[in-house]
Structure 1
Amino acid sequence: MAPEETTQAAAGEQLPQDKISEIARRALKGLVAKGKAPIPPVYEKAFYDEALKLGEEGLVAFLQAKLPPGQAAQAMAERLAGVMTNLGDTMKQYKERLDVHSEHIEGRKKSLEDALAPEVWAVLQQEVGALLSANALMREQVEASERRLEAHKQEVAELQRRVRFDALTGALNRGAFEEDIADEYARCRRYDRPFTLIIADIDCFKKVNDTYGHTIGDEVLKYFVRMISQEVREIDRVYRYGGEEFVVLLPETDFDGALVVAERLRSRVESRVLKCKGDEDISLKITASFGVTTGGPEDANPKAVLARADKALYKAKEEGRNRVVGLRPGGGAA
């Protein structure tokens, strides 16, 4: 028997992907049947519940130990999307073969009719007609399955989107950041191409929540993401790293260029006034602090780049907030 297909887990161990994809399919089917939205936490719980029903306690324990919340749902959704793509290709091939088979039978009908006695052809014609009808029915069933599969593909695509995005602000989430910076770091090491991180933290955000409540605080977070997103390029990516802390990943950007971008972001945030939707009498001005660094081949791993950017952010807040501080790969400040 061929070994079960596997992929590397976060800690370097192997995940049984064929088993995961089957449980993932069952979990999604159950959610659809119940009319529940397959958002990551709900989907992840449905996956684990389904696994436990099938007696896969060991797999559940393994995934929960090796994959943080959210990342497991992402792995499941990605695998399920791949399975659906392969299934769609198989259905397409099956339908094409049915068409070829039907065309072949239709092409032989005339020659058989000419070669056989009328009484023999009368019997055979019924058999040929039944076979063509069966082919037509199977084609209809395949097409119906394709339509259902397409609907499921859209559900999985939405699940994948939700897995990577922060539900409140619309920014990419921390799990997406960890994936993307790993890819960018690998590209940097291989091709010696620069990338830069900007870490932004909304100044005194706790005071906003304490003074106006979390509903207004949520508006501030969404407003902040909109402002930043409007100021960066399409290839740049904005992530909510945690709480009121955000990261901007800028591919193909050197240190000096990123400092210019960060200062533009800082100035835009400082200059705007937020009119709160929940209470039009509330107008807020906020500021943010920014830490900037560039990743380079000399960095041991992506975490080293992130730690340096975080150190620059800490320095910006320590120096009075509402400012940009950059640290070069060698440790020198801008």
Structure 2
Amino acid sequence: MINPQLMTIILILPLLLNLVLLASLMAYAVRQRSPKVARHFAGVCLCLVVWNAGFVVEILVPSLGGKLLFSNISLTAINLLSPAWFALVAMHSGLYARLKQFLWLTLALPCTTILIIWTNDLNRLFRTVSTLSNYGGYLYLDSLYGPWYYWIYLPTTYFLLGLSLLALIFSFFRQQAIYRNQTGAMIISLIIPYGVSMATTYGLIPLPYYDLTPSMLTLSCIVIAYSFFRFQFLRVVPLARDIIFEQMADGVFVLDKHHKLVDLNPAALEIINLRIGETAHNILAQIKPGQMPESDSQAQITIGQGEDQRQYHARITAVRDEDSNLLGWAMLLRDNTENLRLMEQLQYMATIDAVTDVCNRRYLMQILNDEWARARRYDSMMALVMMDLDNFKLVNDTHGHLAGDAVLKEVAQICKRNLRDVDRIGRFGGEEFTMLLPETDLHGARITAERLRRLIAEKIVFYHGVEIRVTASFGVAELPPDKEATSITRFLKAADDALYVAKRAGRNRVAALDDIEPPGTGIQG
């Protein structure tokens, strides 16, 4: 007969070894990983530590009450171990973001089971009878289990562990060789205690006084420890994938050389409805017709229509093997919609007059400089039309400045609608507007101005039920044949002088100067 003290030592030695290994692995994980990943792996280790520690104390204490107390502590850890392990596997296999909501549900039944265990004296659902049994002087806890144990606890535990195992096996066959080593280590570390636990539960191991599962965790710990240092388990992609891939705000697509989708992250799923194995036609068509670049490149991608349309900045990286053979592409899509909208808004504020929705003076002068240089380079025609609303001060004094703004906007829009696409109109200040007419001579400018004058005079602006009528005076000028003999300043002054002539002649009319006089002959810049 084996000495009871010697048996106790034999039984707890593997468990103590487990505790040392698990504590070391937990410390290593916390040092190597980000806090979120460390929490998941440390959670698994903590459950195993509590399970082992509880079992050690259960073996050592002699009383029934003490053994029940520490058995309940161990069972609490066992119930939390399955969902913790499943969460870790989900991170390793790249499923964490997709299963994030489901992971909380995996805690529901285990937590309920924990409550049932700790209130078992009231419900007798988990254990129906618990006694102390003697095996050669060694006292152990002997229990008959109730319906919750067989119908809820065991199926839930084995279902989650089995699901974890299936996820690892599925991930194993999809991964490259370096990651298969890590996944294989996890599969082995899960199969060992999983198999022994099932064999113990269903009476295939004839040791009623001792649960071999915690002891078999020693082998699992050794396998995991080996994978840590041999395969850099916590340093490369599968476990880090949750942070560098799954949680990225930018969409990441991985395509093979046939343009088939091989992988994508949750952000990419929100960008485009595409499944693994499908071709990203609508993205590829916007990058390079018929092919993808064979070197790193960038592109602007538009996805969606109408109000749902989004703009993305795409960074495309060619993926090659060690022999530089093209394997596919990694594509990062960053949502640039708001930035582009902000840029458009800033561009609008910098170039458009807020009241009239036409060019402001600064932007119009920039366009005039560009058109001036083009006209001189190609010896082409260009005309200017200056317009000023007649007696506009009376509108402001009579109806108020808001009414005046409404009149200014309506007049500006009349001009804008009746000009060509190549023409430009801008508010030069107050009630004065300037129109730039490329490829137009003086006669054409006069016709355009006369048409606008008539439309403005006929227009009735309604403001809060009040009818407001205005007229406008126009001055037109054209570039002379000898363009080198004048300047932009003189060109503007010629149109302004023509406007002055129209005002002096009685307003509501069009006036023009026949030419821009050369320096020293009358009109001074």
Q: TM-score range by the shorter chain?
A: 0.5 to 0.7
Q: Relative to structure 1, is the Cα distance of residues 165 and 321 closer, same or farther in structure 2, using a 3 angstrom cutoff? A: same
Structure 1 residue 206: Cα displacement? 1.2
- Gaps of at least 5 residues in structure 2 are 1-173, 189-222, 253-266, 268-332, 519-525
Q: Does 1:201 align with 2:310?
A: no
Counterpart check, 1:319 vs 2:388: no
**Counterpart for residue 130 of structure 1:** 239
CA contact (8 A) 1:201 1:244 kept: yes
| 2:374 is the counterpart of 1:187 | yes
TM-score by length of 2: 0.38
1:204 Cα deviation (Å)? 0.9
One-letter amino acid of the structure 2 residue matched with residue 327 of structure 1: L
Q: Tell me what 1:226 maps to.
A: 413
Q: Does 1:273 align with 2:380?
A: no
Separation of aligned partners in 2, 1:212 and 1:122: 83
Measured in 2, the distance between the counterparts of 1:133 and 1:272 equals 65
Alignment CA distance shift 1:315-1:287 (3 Å): same
Q: Secondary structure at the match of 1:220?
A: helix
Tell whether the 8 Å contact from 1:185 to 1:295 is kept in structure 2 after alignment.
no
**2:341 counterpart (142, 154, 160):** 154
Q: For the pair shown, which has the larger CA radius of gyration, 1 or 2?
A: 2
Equivalent pairs, count: 223
TM-score (norm 1): 0.58
Alpha-carbon shift at residue 141 of structure 1 (Å) = 5.7
Does residue 295 of the first structure (1) align with residue 479 of the second (2)? yes
Distance 1:133 1:106 in 2: 16
1:301 maps to amino acid:
S
Q: With CA pairs under 8 Å and 6+ residues apart, which has the higher RCO, 1 or 2?
A: 1
Alignment deviations for residues 123-181 of structure 1 (CA, whole Å, 9 cap, x no partner): 4172542354454157446878933x542331122011011111111121111111111
Match of 1:304 among 490, 497, 505: 490
Cα 1:106–1:191 shift into 2, 3 Å: farther
Structure 1 residue ranges (4+ consecutive) displaced by more than 3 angstroms after TM superposition: 105-113, 118-123, 130-135, 137-147, 328-332
**Cα distance in 2 for residues equivalent to 1:303 and 1:214:** 31
Q: Which structure 2 residues correspond to residues 102-181 of structure 1 after superposition, within 5 A?
A: 107-109=176-178, 122-123=227-228, 124=231, 126-127=233-234, 128=236, 129-137=238-246, 139-140=248-249, 146-147=334-335, 150-181=337-368
Aligned-partner Cα distance in 2 for 1:230–1:316: 24
Contact 2:479 2:516 in 1 (8 A): no
Aligned residues of 1:205 and 1:244 also touching (Cα < 8 A): yes
The structure whose residues are more often strand, as a share, is 2
**How far apart, in 1, do the equivalents of 2:175 and 2:385 lie?**
67
Q: Distance in 2 between matches of 1:326 and 1:247?
A: 14
Unaligned runs of 5+ in 1: 1-104
Q: 2:494, 2:516 within 8 Å by CA — same for their partners in 1?
A: no
Work out whether residues 446 and 476 of structure 2, in 8 Å CA contact, stay in contact via their aligned partners in 1.
yes
1:255-270, aligned counterparts within 5 Å?
255-270=442-457
Q: Secondary structure at the residue paired with 2:484? A: coil
